Amino acid sequence: NAGVTQTPKFQVLKTGQSMTLQCAQDMNHNSMYWYRQDPGMGLRLIYYSASEGTTDKGEVPNGYNVSRLNKREFSLRLESAAPSQTSVYFCAIPGSTKKHEQYFGPGTRLTVT
Nearer to another protein, 29 or 81 (CB): 29
Tell me which residue of 112, 34, 39, 38 sits closest to 73, measured CA to CA.
Answer: 34
Least Å distance, CB 43 to another protein, is 4
Nearer to another protein, 38 or 73 (CB): 38
Least Å distance, CB 16 to another protein, is 28
Cα distances (angstroms) measured from residue 9 to each of 47, 72, 82, 90: 20, 19, 19, 10
Interacting residue ranges for another protein, rule: CB under 8 A = 1, 30-31, 33, 35, 40-45, 48, 50-51, 56, 58-59, 90, 94-95, 98-107
In eight-state DSSP terms, residue 26 is: S
